[in-house]
């Protein structure tokens, strides 16, 4: 299973703070008119409760949202980041200024409900392929501006990250192949960015294209929307010279119902857009008490 992310990593914390500041600016704007009705000196205690089984994820973002409005607020987590929680469980207690907690509430919950949903969905896919060689990998199908956060949540759920963006790796797809004049020419040109790219991967749609990509020196190949018999042939072709010639990845139309059968073909990775694209928010609520 993938290593869980380090929640004390300075880069991660800086990203969480930036995301929280942006979200609060969007929500609070020039001021929270409703929270302004509460005495500025009043303290409060809040309990955050989860309403369903889920992996808790997003603590750095929730904490950044609260501390942006009340740097002295005290947060006590009862569930660790990346751990399962159960319906009705209190996962967090906060003490601080009532106005700040009221204004930060929705932003903190929004991060937790989204990132916990991504981590939980990822864990379901990871569990579904246990016992196979296959890794579950995310895609670039993320919410604009929240890619780093969602990819962090994928790692929290035991999955792996694909490229962060267009800048750090090469993924040659159908349109790139067509524009460049074929698989061999585009693979030859890809050599020029070897030092800049963390990996070079090419997408194929047929066994003939797979053979062409292998012969062109491809070491990472994406098998797009192939059915199970073709996938088994692809794995056999890749292993036909006594060793695995390239890392094989499946993409396209993967679901929880189909992912295990796909993994059992012997591929190395399965990329799943639904990890970040089609998630249903985890249900959290916050309850306040005066102090």
Q: Is 141 a catalytic residue?
A: yes
Q: Cα separation of 200 and 193, whole Å?
A: 9
Catalytic hit among 141, 147, 189, 232: 141
Look up 121 and say whether it is catalytic. Answer: no
| 198 neighbors 168 (Cβ within 8 angstroms) | yes
Per the DSSP assignment, residues forming a β-bridge with 55 are 84
d(CA 159, CA 236): 26
Q: Centre a 10 Å sphere on the Cβ of residue 82 and count the other Cβ atoms it contains.
A: 19
Candidate list 224, 232, 260, 283, residue with the active-site label? 224
Q: How far apart are CA 1 and CA 26, in angstroms?
A: 37
Please pick, among 70, 138, 203, 212, the residue that the annotation labels catalytic: 203
Question: Which residue among 173, 244, 280, 287 is the active-site one?
Answer: 173
Task: Specify whether 224 is catalytic.
Answer: yes
Active-site annotation holds for 93:
no
Report the alpha-carbon distance of residue 48 to residue 110 in Å, rounded: 12
Does 241 qualify as catalytic in the annotation?
no
How far is the C-alpha of 230 from the C-alpha of 245, rounded, in Å?
A: 17
Catalytic residues: 106, 141, 173, 203, 224
């Amino acid at each position: 299973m993938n290593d869980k992310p380090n929640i004390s990593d300075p880069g991660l914390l800086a990203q969480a703070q930036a995301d929280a500041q942006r979200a609060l600016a969007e929500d609070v704007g020039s001021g929270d008119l409703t929270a302004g009705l509460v005495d500025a000196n009043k303290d409060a205690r809040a309990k955050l409760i989860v309403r369903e089984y889920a992996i808790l994820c997003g603590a750095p973002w929730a904490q950044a949202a609260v501390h942006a409005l009340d740097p002295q607020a005290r947060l006590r987590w009862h569930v660790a980041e990346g751990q399962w929680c159960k319906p009705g469980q209190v996962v967090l207690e906060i003490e601080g200024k009532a106005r700040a907690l009221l204004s930060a509430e929705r932003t903190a919950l929004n991060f937790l409900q989204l990132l916990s949903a991504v981590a939980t969905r990822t864990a379901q896919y990871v569990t579904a392929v246990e016992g196979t060689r296959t890794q579950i990998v995310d895609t670039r199908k993320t919410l604009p501006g929240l890619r780093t956060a969602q990819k962090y949540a994928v790692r929290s759920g035991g999955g792996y990250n694909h490229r962060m963006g267009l800048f750090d790796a090469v993924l040659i797809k159908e349109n790139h192949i067509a524009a460049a004049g074929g698989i061999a020419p585009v693979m030859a040109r890809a050599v020029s960015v070897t030092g800049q790219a963390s990996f070079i991967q090419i997408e194929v749609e047929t066994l003939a294209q797979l053979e062409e990509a292998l012969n062109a020196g491809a070491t990472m190949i994406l098998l797009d929307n192939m059915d199970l018999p073709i996938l088994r042939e692809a794995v056999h072709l890749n292993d036909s010279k006594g060793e695995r010639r390239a890392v094989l990845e499946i993409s396209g139309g993967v679901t929880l119902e189909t992912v295990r059968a796909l993994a059992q073909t012997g591929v190395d990775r399965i990329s799943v857009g639904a990890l970040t694209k089609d998630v249903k928010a985890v249900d959290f609520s916050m309850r306040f008490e005066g102090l």
